[in-house]
Amino acid sequence: MFNFMLYEPIVDAGMQVLQAAGNVRLASGVDEAAIIREIADIDGVVIRSRGRMSRAILEQAPRLKVVGRHGVGVDNIDLDAATAYGVQVVNTPLAVIEAVAEHTVALMLAASKKIVRMHERLRQGDFEVRYRETGRELRGRPVGIIGFGNIGRRVAQICHLAFGMQILYCDVRRAPDLEAALGARQLPLDDLLAAADYVTVHAPLLPETRHLIGAREFALMRPETLFFNAARGEVVDERALYEALRDGRIAGAGIDVFAEEPTPPDNPLLKLDNIVLTPHAATATEESMRDMSLVALDVVRVLRGEPPAHPVNRLAG
């Protein structure tokens, strides 16, 4: 029987997999000190978005063989340290595609139709807001997708097939299949920013993508541009985003992720009325939560000496 640690609770589908293979313990906290106190006898960990798997923790985990990331992004796991200590990292790259893609398009619709602003005014008894606020259609407009992996490609499919939007994308790799199927065009980042009415980020957080979108990039966008981020908060310079929205250099935004999470109540983005905000909730669907919890399958596979379906790092031997 194996010992498992959860940083945060997961849904029953994943819990049942772990419980069938051993004992499951919920960490008393996700701060480094709490994890270090409790990890010495743990064989496998499931980590979500809160807390980190740091080198300091790995140094105190002699039995640890596998870390399962409940989701896709592994920026809260020290991959170099995990590899050095022989710890396999696995994730669920397919579990969130539909949830995040649909959420992104929902933000696009909400910002385009000014749904949140009208909702708030109507709740205050202001039915006449319908004469003061005018939305716009997505139909036929160019959307620029930064990061054309699984999620970016699904956003492209929805935008083109549902709304006839023109697909522009920026990625280190070409996507000839979607160029043929959707008429997608690969552009350098600066050209994409200047051409798109909608700009949406789906790039992972890496050293080279931190603040990928900042003041210079917002200056390249047009005043009618709407900007969206459901990737990672620190891919965007949040202060530069705030200033671009405040000064009307772009028309609006839809944001699901923040540089600091939970985002503090004094975050100036919360004071703007040309932005739609959600609390890192793009993956919070019944289907996605179930499928992310099933990272437990790979965690158990690794402990049983079987190859995982979705390895993140490559171990020696």
List residues with catalytic annotation. Answer: 232, 261, 280
Give the whole-angstrom CA distance, residue 98 versus residue 104. 10
Distance of CA 196 to the CA centre of its chain: 21
Contacts of 191 (CB under 8 A, 6+ apart): none
- The 44-47 sheet, strands edge to edge: 22-26, 2-6, 44-47, 66-69, 88-90
* CA–CA dist 179, 186 (Å, integer): 8
Residue 236 DSSP class: B
Alpha helices in 142-233, H assignment, sequence order: 150-163, 176-182, 189-195, 215-220
DSSP state of 129: G
Reduce the DSSP state of residue 176 to 3 states and report it.
Answer: helix
Three-state DSSP state, 288: helix
